Chain A
Amino acid sequence: MSDVQSDVTRFLERLAERRAERAANGPEPTWIAARRQAGAARFEALGFPTRRDEAWKYTDVRAIARGEFGLAQDAEFSKASAAALTLPIDAHRLTFVDGVFAPALSQLDDLPTGVHLLPLSQALAENHEAVGGPLGRLTGVEFSPFSALNTAFMEEGAVLRLAPGCVVEKPIILQFLSRNGSQPVMSHPRILIEAGGRSEARVIEHHVGEQEAANFTNLVEEIMLDRGAILTHYKLQEAPIADLHVASIHVEQARDAHYTSFNLNLGGGLVRNDLISELNGQGATANFYGLFYGQGRQHVDNHTLANHNAPLTFSNENYKGILDDRAHGVFNGKVVVKRDSQKIEGYQSNANLLLSDRAEIDAKPELEIYADDVKCSHGTTTGQLDADAVFALRTRGIDEQTARGLLTLAFAGEVLEEVDLDAIAERVELAVAGKLPERFNLAGLVEAAVALGDE
Chain B
Amino acid sequence: MASQEMEQLVRRDYKEGFVTDIESETVPPGLDESTIAFISNKKGEPEWMLEWRLKAYHQWLKMKTPSWAHLDYPPIDYQSISYYSAPKRDEDRPQSLDEVDPKLLETYEKLGIPLHERAALAGVAVDAVFDSVSVTTTFKDKLHEAGVIFCSISEAIRDYPELIKQYLGTVVPVADNYFAALNSAVFTDGSFVFVPEGVTCPMELSTYFRINAANTGQFERTLIICEKRAQVSYLEGCTAPMRDENQLHAAVVELVALEDAYIKYSTVQNWYPGDEDGKGGIYNFVTKRGDCRGDRSRISWTQVETGSAITWKYPSCVLRGRDSIGEFYSVAVTNGRQQADTGTKMIHIGEGTRSSIISKGISAGRSNQSYRGLVKIGPRAKGARNFTQCDSLLIGDTCGAHTFPYQEIGNSTATVEHEATTSKIGEDQLFYCQSRGISEEDAVSMIVNGFCKDVFQELPMEFAVEAEALLSVTLEGAVG
Binding site for B on A (CB under 8 A): 54, 58, 339-340, 342, 352, 354-384
Contact = CB atoms under 8 A, between A and B. Distances in A.
Contacts of B414: 354, 382-383
A385 B422 CA distance: 28
Question: What's the dominant secondary structure at chain A's contact region?
Answer: strand
Contacts of A354: 409, 411-412, 414
Given A342-B397, A372-B399, A364 B421 contact: no
Contacts of B408: 58, 360-362
B407 A362 contact: yes
B424 A378 contact: no
17 contacts: A357-B412, A359-B410, A362-B407, A362-B409, A363-B405, A364-B404, A365-B418, A365-B420, A367-B403, A367-B422, A369-B422, A371-B394, A372-B394, A374-B424, A375-B423, A382-B416, A384-B413
Contacts of B410: 357-360
A382 B384 CA distance: 11
B411 A361 contact: no
Contacts of A366: 402-405
A334 to B, nearest CB: 9
B407 A383 contact: no
Given A363-B406, A365-B405, A378-B403, 18 more contacts: A340-B397, A357-B410, A357-B412, A357-B413, A361-B407, A362-B408, A362-B409, A364-B404, A365-B403, A368-B400, A368-B402, A372-B395, A373-B424, A375-B422, A377-B421, A378-B419, A380-B418, A382-B416
A370 B396 CA distance: 10
B379 interface: yes
Given A364-B406, A365-B405, A383 B398 contact: no
A354 B414 CA distance: 9
Quick one: which of B403, B404, B410 has the most chain A CB within 10 A?
B403
B96 interface: no
B176 interface: no
Given A340-B397, A359-B412, A377 B419 contact: yes
B402 A369 contact: yes
B68 interface: yes
Given A372-B394, A372-B397, A358 B379 contact: yes
Contact of B422 (A360, A363, A377): A377
B403 A363 contact: no
Nearest to B395: A372
B407 A380 contact: yes
A362 B406 CA distance: 7
Interface string B240-282: 0000000000000000000000000000000000000000000
A380 B405 contact: yes
Contacts of A363: 405-407, 409, 418
B355 to A, nearest CB: 14
A382 B379 CA distance: 14
Nearest to A54: B68
A367 B402 contact: yes
Contacts of A376: 421-423
B409 A361 contact: yes
A350 to B, nearest CB: 9
A382 B417 CA distance: 6
A394 B380 CA distance: 29
B184 interface: no
Given A377-B421, A379-B419, A370 B400 contact: yes
A367 B409 CA distance: 21
Contacts of B395: 372
**What are the 6 tightest A-B residue pairs by CB atom distance, in nearest-first order?**
A383-B415, A372-B394, A354-B412, A372-B424, A376-B422, A367-B403
B193 interface: no
B138 interface: no
A332 B417 CA distance: 15
Contacts of A382: 407, 409, 414-416
Nearest to A364: B406
Contact of A369 (B396, B401, B407): B401
Contacts of B421: 376-377
B417 A380 contact: yes
B392 interface: yes
Contacts of B405: 363-366, 380
A379 B416 CA distance: 11
Contacts of A339: 397-398
A330 to B, nearest CB: 10
A349 B458 CA distance: 29
Contacts of B396: 372
A3 B408 CA distance: 29
A356 B411 CA distance: 7
A380 to B, nearest CB: 4
A342 B398 CA distance: 12
Quick one: which of A358, A368, A373 has the most chain B CB within 10 A?
A368
A357 B409 CA distance: 10
A24 B64 CA distance: 50
B392 A373 contact: no
A378 to B, nearest CB: 5
B376 to A, nearest CB: 9
Contacts of A367: 392, 401-403, 420, 422
Interface string B368-407: 0000000000010000000000001011111111111111
B4 to A, nearest CB: 29
A368 B372 CA distance: 12
Contacts of A355: 412
A82 B240 CA distance: 73
Contacts of B399: 370, 372
Nearest to B407: A363
Given A339-B398, A364-B404, A357 B411 contact: yes
B429 to A, nearest CB: 14
Nearest to A363: B407
A381 B417 contact: yes
A1 B401 CA distance: 40
A418 B53 CA distance: 60
B417 A383 contact: yes
A381 B387 CA distance: 9
Contacts of A58: 408
A370 to B, nearest CB: 5
Interface string B182-214: 000000000000000000000000000000000
Contacts of B406: 362-364
B441 to A, nearest CB: 17
A369 B396 CA distance: 12
A86 to B, nearest CB: 36
Nearest to B412: A354
Given A362-B407, A377-B422, A369 B417 contact: no
Contacts of B392: 367, 369
A357 B417 CA distance: 18
Nearest to B408: A362
Nearest to A337: B422
Contacts of B407: 361-364, 380, 382
Nearest to A328: B410
A366 B343 CA distance: 14
Quick one: which of B396, B409, B420 has the most chain A CB within 10 A?
B409
Nearest to A334: B404
A374 B423 contact: yes
A374 B402 CA distance: 13
A306 to B, nearest CB: 14
Contacts of A372: 394-397, 399, 424
A373 B417 contact: no
A60 to B, nearest CB: 15
Nearest to A58: B408
A251 B263 CA distance: 50
Contacts of B403: 365-368, 378
